[in-house]
Amino acid sequence: MGRFLFLDAIKAFAILLVIFVHMQNFLSAVVIENYYVFEFLTFIALACFTFVSGYAIYENNTTLRDRKEVLHFYKKRIVRIYPLYLAALFVYFLCFQVFGLFPPLHYSIPEWVANILCLQVILAPAYIEPIFTLWFIGFIMVLYAMYPVFSGRPGRTRILLAVSIFAVLAILHQILNIIDYRFFLYYFFFIAGIAAAEGNRRFLFLEQPLKKHETSIFPAIGALAYASYCIYLFHMPVFSLSGQFISWLNLSGYFQNGVLLFVVIPAMACLCYGVQRVYDAGIKSRRGRV
């Protein structure tokens, strides 16, 4: 699948929303104090990411015809997502559990193992409280694990399967107190992404205004979208570490906010872009040697 401008625009918009919401904890004065506004913005951001995931997965894997293709699909997803996720978990462990930076974590070994295995969304809330922010990666991994069930199905059959799976998991949630409630909030956005890709929906109302500035705006949008996964994984440790450093400098409120907005966030975006490029180059190099 080539890069779709509208998908990049949605991802860039979503990661900017995530950054905007989470940076409030590290500003000297929050921009918006209404809790429900933040919850709504978070919902929009994660719904966008989930929709884009469904769309992109279908475009790249329209039909998985046999066991070999299914295994290849899983391998691609694991290689693409899992190593960076493990690196993020390690950074979270050091920052929030070992050093106790804000917000601190107090997880047991079994709870860390559950997060490593991406079982946190399945086991919550009865057995675990998923790690803030990173719970979403566990959620996406569950959706990817389910995708072969939907692959190659006619639209109505897929909807019937999706509703049936939703109903079964909702029953398990009620009876066993498992399956994090956020699974049910975002699940159908993934299905909607698959349906939109199948119908070749291009959302031209997003693409057309951007194409007028394709040489100026699009490179920035494409770079931000490309780095969005890495930014999502590491932005909270970056904010916590930089907040600690800024407090040591004893800067005034305006300078504190300026450093975060105009130094930390741009530097983080550039660094994450570089990390993603190096990681992808490593994947391609490894494939070339196989």
- Give the whole-angstrom CA distance, residue 50 versus residue 43: 10
Q: Six-digit token pair at 1?
A: 């699948």
Residues 44-99 have pLDDT tens digits of 999 999 999 999 999 998 889 899 999 999 999 999 999 999 999 999 999 999 99
Give the pLDDT of residue 89: 98
289 has a pLDDT exceeding 60: no
Tell me the whole-structure pTM to 2 decimals: 0.94
Give residues with Cβ within 8 angstroms of 261, minimum separation 6: 23
The more confidently predicted of residues 40 and 211 is 40
Share of the chain above pLDDT 70, in %: 95
Q: Is 43 exposed, middle or buried (0-12, 13-18, 19+ CB in 10 A)?
A: middle
CB count in 10 Å sphere of residue 109:
7
Residue 213 binned pLDDT confidence (cut-offs 50, 70, 90): low
- Give the whole-angstrom CA distance, residue 89 versus residue 48: 23
Residue type, 95: C
Alpha-carbon distances of 174 from 125, 132, 167, 179, 187, rounded to whole Å: 11, 23, 11, 9, 17
Give residues with Cβ within 8 angstroms of 110, minimum separation 6: none
Q: What is the mean pLDDT of the chain?
A: 92
The arithmetic mean of pLDDT across residues 198-203, rounded, is 86
Alpha-carbon distances of 255 from 29, 200, 201, 263, 277, rounded to whole Å: 12, 47, 45, 11, 32
Give the pLDDT of residue 16: 98
**DSSP string of 107-123?**
--HHHHHHHHTT-HHHH
Residue type, 44: I
Alpha-carbon distances of 274 from 114, 127, 207, rounded to whole Å: 30, 37, 26
CB 178 within 8 A of CB 114: no
The sign of the torsion formed by the CA atoms of 142, 143, 146, 148 equals: negative
Residue 142 binned pLDDT confidence (cut-offs 50, 70, 90): very high
Q: Give the residue from 264, 273, 265 showing the smallest Cα distance to 245.
A: 264
